[in-house]
Structure 1
């Protein structure tokens, strides 16, 4: 037996170093025990060229909401800061936008149609020109629109629903009634024929 008191510090360190047995070492891969596969489920996805795909918000979002779906630039501009705050990638942002923006657009369209319907109901029940007078009121309003307006104006009023606004109906109906009674005031020096709306409303306005 070695007398430990006679060993040097180096010899004592060697004798104290634990020996790793074969039981503590991982088994070497064999045909019966191949190397286990590496779990890469937590690894970031790689692009086709082998490089890691960029993650998070891009420098500029490219919006594509699917075939046949138009992108509302105003809504997309309002949605982009939210996507950046959430650090969404371009694909993630487009997926969320494709779900949300059409619903927002539909909600806005529904709200506008509700407003137009309310204008129409208010006009039909107006104490001054509604009720039993409403049919004649609309006849006079159309006559004024045909005389002083234009196809473009008619199209705008129809497409936006503004033609149902009580204030516009009142103005055009009064103009039509004046025409019927031949009391339309023409501005001094105005050429014969149709008058434009500016001349009809502001006969003394300078052009």
Structure 2
């Protein structure tokens, strides 16, 4: 905090004891003590942990890789990194990972947008047929797809791929073509396996 006297000879005001408390009488030299005062207590962030265990704080939403932290802690201790230095390193790595994840997410979104644009222009399912193709594909998925398949296509983005849309639309069209219009007693629903593998005869 300096030597207590500024260039004009005025000492800075004490934060703990404001100037309105008045002058304090000199009580003589303060006896030395072996125990460090609170002001002299070392900051834990400036210490190298003796047990080699570092506590890393990460940004909200990021999970600590406990196995990586356990493997790296002895190395950090051996090279003499303090807790503060190790936290700074972890913070820098976390920021890099966040930026990397953001870039990857944008690239993946751009890929899916490209898939959709390609499907919209496709000669078989796109153009003037686009709305009908999507509706037919959705109908096939609703009829034969499971909740697990729907979740997979949504989470993976695979439902936006032109070939997936094409396949589902073809399945939907096959259902419409093979379904008798009369719906009489002689009609029976086709099995999904027969639609996917027409060379196999329906059972029964």
TM-score range, shorter chain: 0.5 to 0.7
1:65 aligns with 2:58: yes
In structure 2, stretches of 5+ residues that fail to align are 1-40, 180-187
CA distance in 1, matches of 2:193, 2:43: 63
CA distance in 2, matches of 1:93, 1:193: 63
CA distance in 1, matches of 2:156, 2:112: 8
In structure 1, stretches of 5+ residues that fail to align are 1-44, 184-191
The superposition leaves residues 116-167 of structure 1 with CA deviations (integer Å, 9 ceiling, x where unpaired) of: 0000000000112110011111111111101111122112212322111001
Alignment match, 2:118:
122
Aligned-residue offset at 1:53: 2.2
Q: CA RMSD in A?
A: 3.9
1:101 aligns with 2:100: no
1:163 aligns with 2:159: yes
Q: TM-score of the superposition, structure 1-length normalised?
A: 0.54
CA distance in 2, matches of 1:148, 1:105: 35
1:47 to 1:129, Cα distance in 2 relative to 1, 3 A: same
Q: TM-score of the superposition, structure 2-length normalised?
A: 0.55
1:62 to 1:120, Cα distance in 2 relative to 1, 3 A: farther
State the secondary structure of the residue aligned to 2:178.
coil
CA distance in 2, matches of 1:140, 1:155: 19
Bigger-Rg structure (1/2): 1
Alignment match, 2:130:
134
Aligned residue among 196, 201, 204 for 2:196? 201
Aligned residues between the structures = 143
Alignment match, 1:152:
148
